Amino acid sequence: MAHRIFNFNAGPSTLPLDVLKIIQEELLDYRGTGMSVMEISHRSPEFDEINESAITLVRELMGLDDKYHVMFCTGGASTQFAMIPFNFAGNGQKGAYVDTGTWSTKAIKEANIMGGAHLAGSSKDNEYRHIPKAADLDVPANSPYLHITTNNTIKGTQWHYTPEYDGIPLIADMSSDILSHQLDYSKFAMVYAGTQKNLGPAGACLVVMHDDLLQKRKDGNPAMWDYRTYATKKSLYNTPPSLTIYIVKLILEWIKNQGGLAAVEKVNKAKYDKVYGMIDQYPDFFKGTVQTDSRSWMNATMRLPNEDLEKKLIADAKAAGFGGLKGHRSVGGIRISMYNAMTLEGVEKVLGFMDEFRKANS
Ligand SMILES: *Cc1c(COP(=O)(O)O)cnc(C)c1O
């Protein structure tokens, strides 16, 4: 048995052991082809089955019909920051954006290059410690879309409501909380997520888009910058990141086999309760950095009483078999990332370690 640590990395992140074992089993000879998935043609029936299954499973798990296109784009979520305004804004039309820190700030920066962004709301004044309330948003009626970042991986906040504006397509960067809980995905015209947090390894960005929005894209775009290319060719216009799509398919099956989003949500809620339970019990030692009503189910961020203790905790944790607890370099502190593949056992064990650390150091 290989030595495996409890991996709390924020992305790329831990993958389910059962899925890694399937990959290992199928690696040298994928279903009698005598080749690995990395080596087969993306035009082969074997890959076609993988791609079709992935598309079908995304719709099924999200509860969406085939009015929604499922695409695998490359360039990560970051390329979507530019592709969205490139396809849907410009000519004086500005997408509306809510700035909830780091990633949404980057999305706004890219939109500004592509023709402008309207700031519909922000929690910058509060160092991004909360998600703005619906009443505080200012979304112009003629906005071509509203863009939000449902989970703020670095700041540790998450939207716990879905903003709705009649006739304005809602677009969400769900890179770090896609398929982590039950949600009415039909309220979104488009969701996208880099695969390396909740969906598999790095290499693709899942894009799910309603056909009504797709029809609004501008004509005359280069092929790889036009969503229609991905939608009509099922992401097979050029060579797709086939290994990543294969592993995403395995993750989607893993989610389905557990009982879908209801089952995943149950585990994630249990992890959330335990982590924030510790923060609430010892707020002078584990100082949560965000407002209670905006806490993320996926990335819990905290500071310790001083930076030396933070460094010591990270080093001691590593020695004890817990990796990835360091907060993002831009904010410091401690971050417990607990995506779908992180087990409740892993969370309980790291909290046990952290409690011992608190006792020994306070
Ligand atoms: C990680 C992350 C990104 C960046 O994803 P890339 O695939 O590296 O471009 C964007 N948005 C959010 C919310 C993220 O967590």
Residue 1 has pLDDT above 90, yes or no: no
Quick one: pLDDT at residue 108?
A: 98
**Domain identity same for 292 and 247:** no
24 burial level (CB within 10 Å; 0-12, 13-18, 19+): exposed
The residue out of 258, 290, 324 marking a domain boundary is 258
**Domain identity same for 230 and 331:** no
Give the confidence band of 220 by pLDDT, cuts at 50, 70, 90: confident
Distance (Å, whole) CA 125 – CA 95: 22
Residue 129 has pLDDT above 80, yes or no: yes
Quick one: pLDDT at residue 293?
A: 98
pLDDT tens profile 22-40: 999 999 999 999 999 999 9
Average pLDDT over residues 327-356: 96
The string of DSSP codes covering 286-318 is SEE-S-GGGB-SSEEEEE-SSHHHHHHHHHHHH
Average pLDDT over residues 264-277: 98
Q: Please state, rounded to an integer, the average pLDDT across all residues of the chain.
A: 97
In a domain, 216, yes or no: yes
How many structural domains is the chain composed of?
A: 2
Average pLDDT over residues 206-225: 95
Q: Which residue's C-alpha comes closest to atom 3 of ligand 1? A: 77
- This prediction has a pTM of 0.98
Contact yes or no for 106/78 (Cβ under 8 A): yes
The residue out of 229, 258, 287 marking a domain boundary is 258
Helix (H, G, I), strand (E, B) or coil at 177: coil
| CA 176 to ligand 1 centroid distance, Å | 7
Q: Residue 229: in which H helix or E strand, if any?
A: helix 227-232
Give the confidence band of 248 by pLDDT, cuts at 50, 70, 90: very high
Residue 281 has pLDDT above 90, yes or no: yes
**% of the chain surpassing 90 pLDDT:** 96
| CA 81 to ligand 1 centroid distance, Å | 10
pLDDT tens profile 166-209: 999 999 999 999 999 999 999 999 999 999 999 999 999 999 99
The terminus-to-terminus CA distance of the chain in angstroms comes to 37
**Domain identity same for 241 and 345:** no
* CATH number, domain containing residue 134: 3.40.640.10
Residue 285 has pLDDT above 80, yes or no: yes
Atom of ligand 1 nearest to the CA of 154: 15
Domain carrying residue 348: 260-361
Quick one: pLDDT at residue 91?
A: 85
CA distances to 117, 121, 147, 211 from 163, rounded to whole Å, are 18, 12, 10, 20
Quick one: pLDDT at residue 330?
A: 87
Residue 327 sits at φ, ψ, to 5 deg, of -65, 160
**Domain identity same for 264 and 309:** yes
Counting ligand 1 atoms within 8 A of each CB, the residue from 74, 78, 191, 207 with the most, and so the one to mutate, is 78
Contact residues of ligand 1, CB 6 A cut-off: 11, 76-78, 103, 149, 153, 173, 175-176, 194
Quick one: pLDDT at residue 351?
A: 98
* CATH number, domain containing residue 320: 3.90.1150.10
Counting ligand 1 atoms within 8 A of each CB, the residue from 98, 110, 153 with the most, and so the one to mutate, is 153
Residue 163 has pLDDT above 80, yes or no: yes
The residue out of 206, 231, 258 marking a domain boundary is 258
**Domain identity same for 65 and 48:** yes
Quick one: pLDDT at residue 218?
A: 85
What residue type is assigned to position 192 of the chain? Y
**Domain identity same for 275 and 238:** no
**Domain identity same for 279 and 220:** no
**% of the chain surpassing 70 pLDDT:** 100
In a domain, 20, yes or no: no
Quick one: pLDDT at residue 300?
A: 98
Give the confidence band of 258 by pLDDT, cuts at 50, 70, 90: very high
Average pLDDT over residues 138-159: 97
User: What are the residue numbers of the active site?
Assistant: 103, 173, 197
Quick one: pLDDT at residue 284?
A: 97
| CA 194 to ligand 1 centroid distance, Å | 6
Quick one: pLDDT at residue 226?
A: 96
Quick one: pLDDT at residue 115?
A: 82
pLDDT tens profile 64-99: 999 999 999 999 999 999 999 999 998 889 999 999
In a domain, 121, yes or no: yes
Average pLDDT over residues 274-299: 98
Residue 219 has pLDDT above 90, yes or no: no
